[in-house]
C-alpha cells in the first residue's frame, strides 16, 4: 500500500493505517542543514533529491522525519521544502514526519531561548498552526513532531507550550498524529 492512501492513527499504543492494520514505521531522519541557514538560505533545498527518497524506499524505509528550522518559514522556503518532500514521499510511498528541530528565537539547535520568551512561544504556536492548516489534508504526512528534544529548566514550561500548540493545531487539523518528546 502507498503511504499516501490513508492517514495513520493511534489506537492504544499502536499505530494503524487507514484499514485499521498495525503499522510499524521504519525510517530515517533527514537533516536539512539548518545550521547553514545563516550563510546559505537555500542549503535545505540542496541536501536530497527525489532519487534519494526512492533509494531509501528500496532499503525498506517507510517514513522520513524531516528536520525543520523556524526561520525557513520567514519566507516561502519552509513550505517549498515540505512541498518537495510531500511530492517525493507520495511518489515513493513513504510517510513524512515534520520535525521542528530549531525553534524560535534560536538560530541553532538547543539554544533554549524560547522558555522565557512569550513572543517566541506565540511565534512557535502560530507557525505550527500555519503548517497544520496548510497540510491538514495531506495523508502522506504521518504527523508533526512539535519540538525536537525540548529542554526547559522546568519541564512544565514544555508541557504548557505543548498544550497550547496542540490546541492551535487541532483547531485546523484533526487528521495528523502529534509526536511529543518529553522534556
Per-residue pLDDT band for 97 (boundaries 50, 70, 90) equals: very high
As a whole number of angstroms, the distance between CA 99 and CA 104 comes to: 14
Average pLDDT for the chain: 94
Contact between 94 and 57 (Cβ < 8 Å): yes
As a whole number of angstroms, the distance between CA 114 and CA 100 comes to: 13
β partners of residue 66: 30, 98
Q: Is 74 helix (H, G, I), strand (E, B) or coil?
A: helix
Contact between 132 and 166 (Cβ < 8 Å): no
Per-residue pLDDT band for 1 (boundaries 50, 70, 90) equals: very low
Contact between 32 and 64 (Cβ < 8 Å): no
pLDDT value at position 4? 55
Q: Is 2 helix (H, G, I), strand (E, B) or coil?
A: coil
As a whole number of angstroms, the distance between CA 20 and CA 75 comes to: 38
Amino acid at each position: 500500500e502507498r503511504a499516501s492512501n490513508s492517514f495513520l492513527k493511534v489506537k492504544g499504543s499502536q499505530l494503524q493505517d487507514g484499514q485499521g492494520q498495525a503499522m510499524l514505521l521504519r525510517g530515517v531522519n533527514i537533516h536539512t542543514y539548518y545550521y547553514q541557514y545563516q550563510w546559505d538560505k537555500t542549503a535545505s533545498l540542496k541536501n536530497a533529491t527525489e532519487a534519494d527518497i526512492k533509494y531509501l524506499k528500496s532499503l525498506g524505509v517507510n517514513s522520513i522525519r524531516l528536520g525543520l528550522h523556524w526561520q525557513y518559514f520567514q519566507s516561502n522556503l519552509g513550505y517549498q521544502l515540505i512541498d518537495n518532500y510531500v511530492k517525493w514521499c507520495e511518489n515513493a510511498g513513504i510517510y513524512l514526519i515534520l520535525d521542528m528541530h530549531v525553534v524560535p528565537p534560536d538560530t541553532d539547535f538547543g539554544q533554549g531561548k524560547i522558555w522565557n520568551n512569550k513572543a517566541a512561544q506565540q511565534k512557535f504556536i502560530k507557525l505550527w498552526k500555519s503548517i497544520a492548516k496548510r497540510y491538514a489534508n495531506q495523508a502522506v504526512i504521518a504527523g508533526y513532531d512539535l519540538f525536537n528534544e525540548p529542554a526547559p529548566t522546568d519541564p512544565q514550561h514544555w508541557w504548557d507550550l505543548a498544550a497550547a500548540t496542540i490546541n492551535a493545531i487541532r483547531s485546523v487539523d484533526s487528521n495528523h498524529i502529534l509526536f511529543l518528546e518529553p522534556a
